[in-house]
Amino acid sequence: MAAPLKLLFLHGYTQSGPLFHAKTKALEKLLLKSLPAGTTLTFPTAPHLLKLSDLPGHTPASNEGGEEQSADNWAWWRRNDATGEYTGLDETWAFLSKLLDSEGPFDGCIGFSQGGALTSLLASLLEPSHAPSRPAAFTTPHPPFRFGIVYSGFRAPGPRYDYFYEPKIATPTLHFIGSLDTVVDEARSLALVQEYAGEPRVVYHPGGHYLPAGKQFANVAVGFVREHMKPVEVVEEVGVEDMDVPF
């Protein structure tokens, strides 16, 4: 017998919690069917609302202000193309600290693309070995995740983010890589895999930049979660005849 799980889902760049929830319905259905009753899935929306100019492939109209905000496109950070720096991370750490404190503790985290990269960063910060390098905005006492699942993830670029990966991340993690992914290619995902200790598991799917919903791949994810579930401790009742009492 195992206890109900709490799973945290982190969406990708330009998505939102509700949109990611809608795109993972098949996985959610299988998870809730296969995991202990009472298991809950949480889909927060990132704290940064993107501008139209932040959206990939966006071409501003001549009469359009470049600073106009999008309707429902969110991000965990914006990347400065000139420096590679992630802007907005402190706000994200403050946001996640409050979320983990109010809705956790979570057993595991599942993230896609930018959310997959964040899953690794978050798992790292929750590990005791990384406690000395935690950002000031990350204040939660949340325990380490029991596991993580990363779809189309990538390593934060440059030496400024090495502290997330030194020492290597110890949280057991399953990585999914799309063999036809042109947004986050195989080399970028493998660069993240290499930042994990031991032999992290890697599964390839024959598709592009999306979370594979086919039963074959969903079953792999469910099996990985079940492997890292915490069993309920069963306390056996002791009969009076077995008690060490003076009568």
- CATH code of residue 122: 3.40.50.1820
Instruction: Read off the pLDDT of each residue in 62-85 and give the average, rounded to a whole number.
Output: 80
Note whether 247 and 16 are within 8 A (CB).
no
Instruction: Read off the pLDDT of each residue in 161-180 and give the average, rounded to a whole number.
Output: 97
Q: Give me the active site residues, please.
A: 113, 181, 209
**Using one digit for the tens of pLDDT, what is the confidence trace for 15-41?**
999 999 999 999 999 999 999 999 999
- Give the Cα separation of 220 and 178 in Å (integer): 15
Crossing angle between the packed helical segments 215-227 and 25-34, to the nearest 10 degrees: 40
1 pLDDT above the threshold of 50: yes
Note whether 93 and 133 are within 8 A (CB).
no
Band of pLDDT at residue 2, cut at 50, 70 and 90: confident
185 pLDDT above the threshold of 60: yes
pLDDT of amino acid 213: 83
**Using one digit for the tens of pLDDT, what is the confidence trace for 187-214?**
999 999 999 998 899 999 999 999 998 8
244 pLDDT above the threshold of 70: no
Domain housing 112: 20-34+41-48+73-231
Number of domains in the chain: 1
Q: Give domain status of residue 131, yes or no.
A: yes
Band of pLDDT at residue 233, cut at 50, 70 and 90: very low
Q: How many residues does the chain have?
A: 247
Q: Give domain status of residue 137, yes or no.
A: yes
Instruction: Read off the pLDDT of each residue in 104-124 and give the average, rounded to a whole number.
Output: 98
Instruction: Read off the pLDDT of each residue in 84-94 and give the average, rounded to a whole number.
Output: 96
pLDDT of amino acid 59: 59
57 pLDDT above the threshold of 80: no
120 pLDDT above the threshold of 70: yes
Q: Which residue has the higher pLDDT, 214 or 143?
A: 143
186 pLDDT above the threshold of 70: yes
Give all strands (DSSP E) within the chain, no chain letters: 6-10, 40-42, 48-51, 69-75, 78-79, 86-87, 108-112, 147-151, 173-178, 201-205
Average pLDDT, the chain: 90
237 pLDDT above the threshold of 60: no
Q: Give domain status of residue 174, yes or no.
A: yes
211 closest CA partner among 61, 37, 10, 44: 10
Crossing angle between the packed helical segments 114-126 and 89-103, to the nearest 10 degrees: 70
pLDDT of amino acid 129: 95
pLDDT of amino acid 234: 42
Q: Give domain status of residue 61, yes or no.
A: no
Q: Which residue has the higher pLDDT, 232 or 122?
A: 122
Q: Give domain status of residue 11, yes or no.
A: no
Q: Give domain status of residue 242, yes or no.
A: no
- Give the Cα separation of 116 and 187 in Å (integer): 15
Number of other residues whose CB lies within 10 A of the CB of residue 243: 8
pLDDT of amino acid 148: 98
Q: Give domain status of residue 105, yes or no.
A: yes
pTM of this structure: 0.90
243 pLDDT above the threshold of 50: no
Q: Give domain status of residue 64, yes or no.
A: no
